[in-house]
Amino acid sequence: MSTPDVVIVGGGIGGLSTALALSRIGLKVRVLEQAKEFGEVGAGIQLAPNCTRILDDYGLLEEAKARGVVPDSMVMRDAIDGSDLTSLDLRDLERKYGFPYLVIHRSDLHGLFLEACRDAGVELRTEQRVTAYAQDAGRATATTEAGTVHEAAVVLAADGLHSVARKLFVDDQPVSSAYVAYRGTVPVVQAGRPVDLSEVVVYVGPRCHFVHYGLRGGGLLNQVAVFESPKALAGLEDWGTPDELDTAFAGTCDAVQQGLPHMWRDKWWRMYDRDPITTWVDGRIALLGDAAHPPLQYMAQGAIMAIEDGWVLAEHIKRLRRGDGAVDWAGALAAYEAVRPEHCRRVVLTARAWGELWHLDGVEREQRNILLRAREAGDYAFTDWIYGPAALFPEDEPAMFEPIPLQSADRLAQRLRRANAEDEDQG
């Protein structure tokens, strides 16, 4: 392949989806992956309508649906007593936002983008560990550990949580949440209990939560157990171990207990994010995906934000492409940076707050449960800012939701008690 228009560092979901977005508009793209082969580690991933909208634009939605599951509802339950707290009707959600809510195995989604990139002629290179970046007035370069220099008009760094390129922008480190995730997939027939695969379920509990949903057409059950590690809080290096898993979930309901034996106990994922930054572009080098905005997973928007990044950048390149085919890279990157950092800042910070809400204990847990149970089924006030189309310009970014103070649950409970007393008097 001749010198590419764009070099993308990182062959994960963000890098490949961006490579596809750019190749679809006629750019020559080279993707550099540090591993010996392209692949994805993990289990399930949730794709909200703001993502499936983009998959549809790429012509990949039907295949993604075939490889995954389109559930009917999302249900939040209390991890201690197992009671329902609130839910989303995902079929109604699809009618509202125009595109479905989909769950799929990460490797299946990654494979879908990989196949599409190959079909589109993206140059895919493995064993390319990039350790340095440079640029001049007209080109940017990414240099590997072995000394290979990759040159293009623009270099996009989609190199993840531990991004090398991010050091060009800020001297920061990943932020530990002290939480750890255990994952596990098991054939549904071996789950050992009846599971309603029409639901995506999260059980929220004191300093822990448990998620399950179906994958691969409903033949596979995906489960995730997350908890706060006392060892991490104590500053110990050996944290998140299986003994902590067992202790964290000891007081949970039967439905959660029955899922725990199917977790992989030989590996676990410590949960980190980074503080938001507003500068993602330096000349002809730009950050994308987790390199720019690694979140905690509570919003289920990490991979989605990366996919949106690539789509938004491609849309601005199309808009600013001159009649001779030349790209106004300065304009396109400036437009990308004008809109994406603020959106992703909101998601990263909301994910932190959402995680705190999930893990409340004592009186605060009771207050949270009252408020969640009072939510009306058709209330989309908390999703309108996130599930619509990705904004192309700052003025298109929807307004954030209005947080509800936990203390308002006390007033709500008083009103409910009065209403119940009046009903009893009238009865």
Matching residue, tokens 């995902």: 90
Q: Which residues contact 196 (CB under 8 A, 6 or more apart)?
A: none
Residue type, 345: R
Q: Of 58, 213, 298, 336, which residue is the catalytic one?
A: 213
Q: From CA 331, how far away is CA 47, in angstroms rounded?
A: 30
Residue type, 340: R
Is 164:131 a contact under the CB 8 Å cutoff? yes
Q: From CA 254, how far away is CA 228, in angstroms rounded?
A: 20
Both tokens of 391, joined, read 């904004």
Q: Which residues contact 417 (CB under 8 A, 6 or more apart)?
A: none
How many helices (H) and strands (E) in the chain?
Answer: 13, 18
Matching residue, tokens 């999302």: 74
- Cα distances from 164 to residues 10, 123, 145, 273, in angstroms, run 11, 22, 12, 15
Residue type, 160: G
Q: In angstroms, how far is the first alpha carbon of the chain from the final one?
A: 81
What region does 98 belong to: left with phi over 0, alpha with psi -120 to 50, or beta?
Answer: left
E strand or H helix at 357 = helix 329-358
According to DSSP, the β-strands at 199-205 and 208-215 are antiparallel
Q: Can 213 be counted among the known catalytic residues?
A: yes
Matching residue, tokens 């999703």: 383
Is 240:132 a contact under the CB 8 Å cutoff? no
Q: What is the DSSP letter of 87?
A: E
Q: Go through the chain and tell me how many residues it has.
A: 427
DSSP 17-47: HHHHHHHTTT--EEEE-SSSS----SSEEEE
Q: Which residues are catalytic?
A: 213
